[in-house]
Structure 1
Amino acid sequence: MKSIKTYVYYLLVIAVMGCSETKKQMDFEVFETSANGNKLSKISTFEILKVSATITLLPEQTYQTITGFGGAFTEASAYLLNKLSKANRDTILKAYFAKDGARYSLTRTHMNSCDFSLSQYSYSPVEDDVNLEHFTIEADKDDLIPMIKDAMAFSEDGFKIFASPWTAAPWMKDNNHWVGGKLLPKYYNTWALFFSKYIDAYKSEGIDIWGFTVENEPHGNGNNWESMHFTPQEMTHFVQNYLGPKLEADGKGDKIILGYDQNRAGLKEWVDEMYKDEASSKYFDGTAIHWYESTYDFFPEALQYAHNKAPNKYLIETEGCVDSEVPKWQDDAWYWKKEATDWGWDWASEEEKYLHPKYAPVNRYARDIIGCLNNWVDGWVDWNMVLDRQGGPNWFKNWCVAPVIVDPDADEVYFTPLYYTMAHFSKYIRPEAKIIGLENSDKDLMLTSALNTDGSIAVVIFNETEKPKSINLILNDKTVEFSIDAKAIQTVVIPKNK
């Protein structure tokens, strides 16, 4: 009898031990940005409600490797920084690039002018200068280059820079105009040389260029600001026979070349052409995409198609912003409300109006970045880092919103909720991280997770609903319960499992 009791006792001990093992607590930190006022705030106490979501992390399931997150160096942003006091200028750059800031790791800039320039200019100002003997980046030396160099000084980890042309100089184009038109075939060699010269010119300023997109928005932009048109066939021909070979011949074959660089709805025809065969795909390192086809729908099917067409190539979102809006100043609530419109609210065709609803700016960013990361995108780059209260300066008066808004006359700075939204990803999901699998029981939550190279895991959770939610997070044999506020984004950081 005693032996039977002892046996039962040991069974109970084993069962209890097993239960305690499954409920072992994990170390974790939670950072939240919310409509209720949190701004990447560390949360240590939680209102535990009835568990509404169970999230199970699956680190053995790995997907794409992260290239980085960040924003764009534009002449508009750089000009504004130069109008601020040194203290405020440094505050902004540290907030974006320093270790205790957003730690931006992937950035963009423009070659020649763009809509967010003060005027239209080119590095090749002399007509028919086919050998680019008069190539000059003098226009960038007052504002743009100092901004980049100061950002480099504040960044301990460093960051990648890729450059994008909006257009060649008018004299190289068939319409002899800044807007629209096509590159004349007789200048294909000159235009390829332009990229090589740009690398050298920026290198002489102490700035290494990681790569390029071949052309910003090759479909054009409604004949508004600087643009130059390519078909998929024309761009592929230019890269395959001119740009790629030129960079290779000049010892710059390591520079990244990203094709396309426009909205996701057009991805299929472009990747079909770019990656048609070994010859066409040789010099393309990846595909660049924008979000303006819809800032609500992130087009998962198109992203999946692009990845499957070239699974070993980059797939980077290179531009997104809340466009066609004058920013709201010192009004955090607006960034959480479904009041913002985009260009398509007024201009999209009737059959495409549904893609352009009024939608909260924070929701656009959080929804799109998470949707992208869950569909093979490896980098996400915002547009202007800094704009003024009008949403400029912009020579075309194409007003937009940036994460940081400034009033240069009053020397004031406003970090909008979009800044903190970006930081939820850029600060905690580092370059070379791997997106990992997860299971989520709550369809109203959007989330993604990544395993960093230091062994830590970052889980980004977006609660778009009007209700707070309690979450049970499970990783292997450990679990933790916490809550997320209504209309909030959280990053949960789990240190390396020791």
Structure 2
Amino acid sequence: MKITKYFFYSFLSFMIISCEPKQEVLVVEVFETSANGNNLTKLENFSSDENQENTIQIKLLPEQKRQKITGFGGSFTESSAYLLNNISKKNRDSIIEAYFGESGAKYSLTRTHMNSCDFSLSQYSYAPVKDDKELVHFSVDEDKDDIIPFIKDAMKVSKDGFKILASPWTASPWMKDNKSWLGGKLLPEYYDTWALFFSKYVSAYNAEGIDIWGVTVENEPLGNDKNWESMHYTPDEMTNFVQHHLGPKLEADYPKVKILGYDQNREHLDEWVDSMYKNEETSKYFDGTAIHWYASTYDYFPEQLQYAHNKAPNKYLIQSEACVDSEVPKWKDDAWYWKKEATDWGWDWAPEKDKYLHPKYAPVNRYARDIIGCLNNYVDGWIDWNMVLDTQGGPNWFKNWCVAPVIVDPIKDEVYFTPIYYTLSHFSRFIRPEASIISLENSDKELMVTAAKNTDGSIAVVVFNEGEKAKNINLILDQKSINIAIQGQAIQTIVIAN
């Protein structure tokens, strides 16, 4: 009798186990950029051993949606536009296709400068005539040979289109208390004139067939030690200017144009959003906040980003500028972009108490780490700085050399797509506007992961393995899963179709 019972219960247990639904295999495409030479390469063999020890569990939670994505992209500067005018049409077209075309990064959010900036060939203003309060002589002719054609060519190849955010570095010197391109403040008697300037700019670009999606009030209002074009505001001064001058003017003339405040480094973000979003009256005309990454080569300041989001959860939070600064680009040396060799301004100039924030750091790591960190902390848009620079890291009237994702040698008519370009493409190509960042569970604190669900139902998961050791991932979505191997020093975008 006991033997019969044993076999009966054994058979029953077998049937229960056999009837449990097996987890289906998740169908994915995997694209990788890595230190060993992959550049947004579609992997044909990416599976890992499902019995591998220390497999990392990444569970996607698509029903837990966070912020909606505004876009990813780079900036239309005079320097970049000038270089594109000085290379062959073939190479110019290939670069524009690489950034905006269906075969490329598909940039969806961009930035440009109003008046000149450090990445201009010279200093200029659209309103050069002194005491022209009504801006009768306003003109964007300076942009018609370079920036405007660059934007128009990008528009031609962009299937989905892209948004443009415009930022001034300074008002015309005659509007400022120090009468200089560098530093100083806008005189109160010209507040209305400067607000009119923004409206005139939007109108002039509209006349060229270019829509301006939004503006920031001032690039780097804390200043930059009077190195290049700049103008200073305190948080309350900027809030006052927007509340009583710029906001009402754009509401009357171009109510769809967005206004983003601040536009500088994240370590001071709290005091700016406290002023901007103090009450309904101060926040009325601010559509969001713009930030830069230059406070550190590795820290993305999650606490500050969360604070800004919680202060105004329904407003934009957009990273508007980033680059590897204070470096001359390395030409056709992919390995350099993966090594912790690059320095930034803070390596030499940061106060002693902040030096720890500015160690040498790998350019690829800096981009991947910052973008994932931003997306996981409520940032909805991420814009790089110059799209194209030369082998010196210019042209730049101040000789403030920097790195861009695409480097050109106009003399030899050669183009170099750096690993930074492919790193940015991992996000811009696969995470589209109006996608929602979704929550996930990640069992490995060393592996950086973010995920977004696009409007077509597809999900893009971006994984960054900064360490040198390969890792094995078990990616889980509902009742489906797949094991994926990611090598050391690699970025992967895992695409799950609808």
Normalising by the smaller structure, the TM-score range is: over 0.9
Q: 2:286 aligns with which of 260, 284, 288?
A: 284
Do the aligned residues in 1 keep the contact of 2:30 with 2:46 (CA within 8 Å)? no
Aligned-pair CA distance for 1:26: 1.2
Q: 1:467 aligns with which of 461, 466, 469?
A: 469
Structure-1 residue corresponding to 2:196: 193
Separation (CA, whole Å) in 1 of partners of 2:18 and 2:446: 34
Separation (CA, whole Å) in 1 of partners of 2:95 and 2:70: 23
Separation (CA, whole Å) in 2 of partners of 1:493 and 1:441: 20
Aligned-pair CA distance for 1:17: 3.7
Aligned-pair CA distance for 1:52: 2.9
Residue 433 of structure 2: SS of its match in structure 1? coil
Structure-2 residue corresponding to 1:404: 406
Aligned-pair CA distance for 1:48: 2.3
Separation (CA, whole Å) in 1 of partners of 2:245 and 2:416: 45
Separation (CA, whole Å) in 1 of partners of 2:131 and 2:13: 88
- Give the 3 Å change call, closer, same or farther, for CA 52–3 of structure 1 in structure 2: closer
Q: Which amino acid aligns with 1:212?
A: V
Separation (CA, whole Å) in 1 of partners of 2:178 and 2:323: 30
Could you report, residue by residue, the CA deviation over 1:372-423 in whole angstroms, capped at 9, with x for unpaired residues? 0000000000000000000000000000000000000000000000000000
Aligned-pair CA distance for 1:485: 1.1
Structure-2 residue corresponding to 1:453: 455
Q: 2:70 aligns with which of 67, 75, 78?
A: 67
Do the aligned residues in 2 keep the contact of 1:315 with 1:378 (CA within 8 Å)? yes
- Give the 3 Å change call, closer, same or farther, for CA 12–104 of structure 1 in structure 2: same
1:58-97 to 2 correspondence within 5 Å? Answer: 58-97=61-100
Separation (CA, whole Å) in 1 of partners of 2:13 and 2:196: 77
Q: Is residue 332 from structure 1 mapped to residue 330 from structure 2 by the alignment?
A: no
Do the aligned residues in 2 keep the contact of 1:295 with 1:368 (CA within 8 Å)? no
Structure 2 unaligned spans of 5+? none
Could you report, residue by residue, the CA deviation over 1:168-200 in whole angstroms, capped at 9, with x for unpaired residues? 010000000000000000000000000000011
1:221-300 to 2 correspondence within 5 Å? Answer: 221-250=224-253, 252-300=254-302
1:195-214 to 2 correspondence within 5 Å? Answer: 195-214=198-217
Structure 1 unaligned spans of 5+? none
Separation (CA, whole Å) in 1 of partners of 2:197 and 2:61: 46
Aligned-pair CA distance for 1:430: 0.4
Q: Which amino acid aligns with 2:310?
A: N
Structure-2 residue corresponding to 1:160: 163
CA RMSD in angstroms comes to 1.4
Do the aligned residues in 2 keep the contact of 1:52 with 1:442 (CA within 8 Å)? no
Structure-1 residue corresponding to 2:48: 48
Residue 83 of structure 1: SS of its match in structure 2? coil
Aligned-pair CA distance for 1:16: 2.4
Decide which moves more: 366-375 or 45-54.
45-54
Separation (CA, whole Å) in 1 of partners of 2:309 and 2:48: 40
Do the aligned residues in 1 keep the contact of 2:297 with 2:360 (CA within 8 Å)? no
Write out the 4+ residue segments of structure 1 that deviate beyond 3 Å after TM superposition.
1-14
Could you report, residue by residue, the CA deviation over 1:107-142 in whole angstroms, capped at 9, with x for unpaired residues? 000000000000000000111000000000000000
Could you report, residue by residue, the CA deviation over 1:39-92 in whole angstroms, capped at 9, with x for unpaired residues? 000012136252531111111111100000000000000000000100000000
Separation (CA, whole Å) in 2 of partners of 1:17 and 1:423: 44
Aligned-pair CA distance for 1:246: 0.6
Structure-1 residue corresponding to 2:131: 128
Separation (CA, whole Å) in 2 of partners of 1:108 and 1:431: 16
Q: Is residue 395 from structure 1 mapped to residue 424 from structure 2 by the alignment?
A: no
Q: Which amino acid aligns with 1:174?
A: D
Do the aligned residues in 2 keep the contact of 1:213 with 1:258 (CA within 8 Å)? yes
Do the aligned residues in 2 keep the contact of 1:77 with 1:386 (CA within 8 Å)? yes
Q: Is residue 29 from structure 1 mapped to residue 29 from structure 2 by the alignment?
A: yes
Residue 185 of structure 2: SS of its match in structure 1? coil
Separation (CA, whole Å) in 2 of partners of 1:156 and 1:14: 53
Do the aligned residues in 2 keep the contact of 1:110 with 1:164 (CA within 8 Å)? yes
Residue 332 of structure 2: SS of its match in structure 1? coil
Aligned-pair CA distance for 1:276: 0.1
Do the aligned residues in 1 keep the contact of 2:216 with 2:260 (CA within 8 Å)? yes
Aligned-pair CA distance for 1:8: 6.7
Residue 85 of structure 2: SS of its match in structure 1? helix
Separation (CA, whole Å) in 2 of partners of 1:153 and 1:59: 34
Q: 1:352 aligns with which of 345, 351, 354?
A: 354
- Give the 3 Å change call, closer, same or farther, for CA 52–188 of structure 1 in structure 2: same
Q: Which amino acid aligns with 2:410?
A: P
Q: Which amino acid aligns with 1:386?
A: V
Aligned-pair CA distance for 1:6: 8.3
Q: 2:441 aligns with which of 432, 439, 442?
A: 439
1:373-384 to 2 correspondence within 5 Å? Answer: 373-384=375-386
Q: Taking every aligned residue pair, what percent have the same amino acid on both sides?
A: 71
Separation (CA, whole Å) in 1 of partners of 2:252 and 2:12: 74
Residue 493 of structure 2: SS of its match in structure 1? strand
Do the aligned residues in 1 keep the contact of 2:302 with 2:373 (CA within 8 Å)? yes
- How many equivalent pairs are there? 493
Separation (CA, whole Å) in 1 of partners of 2:375 and 2:47: 29
Structure-1 residue corresponding to 2:18: 16
Q: Calculate the TM-score normalised by the size of structure 1.
A: 0.97
Aligned-pair CA distance for 1:223: 0.9
Separation (CA, whole Å) in 2 of partners of 1:46 and 1:115: 44
